[in-house]
Amino acid sequence: MTVNGENQLRQEIDKLKLQERPRIVQAIAEARAQGDLRENAEYQYAKDEQGFIEGRIIEIEGKLSNAQIIDVTLIPESGRIIFGTTVELLNLGNDEKLTYQIVGDDESDIKLNKLSVYSPIARALIGKEVGDVAFVKTPAGEAEFEICAVRHA
């Protein structure tokens, strides 16, 4: 996991513990005050939401306790693609320039140009250097990408 990924999870867990958990406890207390809990939809909804929040807290705490945090900025640049690096590519099929950061599964978001290290493109790129060509099998066929730059940012 990258340092940024760890920070995002820590922010989420802080929000869940400091904002969402107290809010849901208050909602449950208010729903209890209304009387019969068997037919109280607000109470049932609040209890379900509480279960989701507590489950998410446990999930995040588990991920953080088992995570290996890699700060790529502390690793000397070698021009080689490793976990956490940002890669500039040229699609040799259509001359499209692409930029991706290779991150952990929990951080991946293609809309933000963050590729999971387990994705086919990232697996084809890991270990390559500037100037190399990576071949990636895609549903539309094989694509070729030339590595133009590798940054530790």
- Check whether 93 has a pLDDT greater than 80: yes
Query: How open is the CA angle 131-134-135, to the nearest 5 degrees?
Result: 150
Please state, in angstroms and rounded to a whole number, the distance separating the CA atoms of residues 111 and 43: 37
72-151 is a CATH 3.50.50.60 domain: no
Tens digits of per-residue pLDDT, 1-11?
Answer: 899 899 999 99
Contact 57, 13 (CB under 8 A): yes
Confidence (pTM)? 0.75
- For 57, list phi and psi in degrees, rounded to 5: -60, -45
Per the document, the length of the chain is 153
pLDDT of residue 34: 79
Q: Give the position of tokens 């730059």.
A: 149
pLDDT of residue 153: 76
Please state, in angstroms and rounded to a whole number, the distance separating the CA atoms of residues 87 and 80: 10
- For 82, list phi and psi in degrees, rounded to 5: -135, 175
Q: Domain map of the chain by residue range?
A: 3-66, 72-151
- Tell me the H-state helices in 16-137: 21-32, 41-66, 120-125
pLDDT of residue 26: 93
- For 2, list phi and psi in degrees, rounded to 5: -80, 165
pLDDT of residue 6: 92
Pairing of strands 114-116, 133-138: unpaired
- Check whether 35 has a pLDDT greater than 80: no
> Which numeric CATH code is attached to 3-66?
1.10.287.180
Confidence at 42, pLDDT banded by 50, 70, 90: confident
| Burial (Cβ within 10 Å: 0-12, 13-18, ≥19) of residue 98 | middle
Of 132, 113, 135, residue with least CA distance to 124: 135
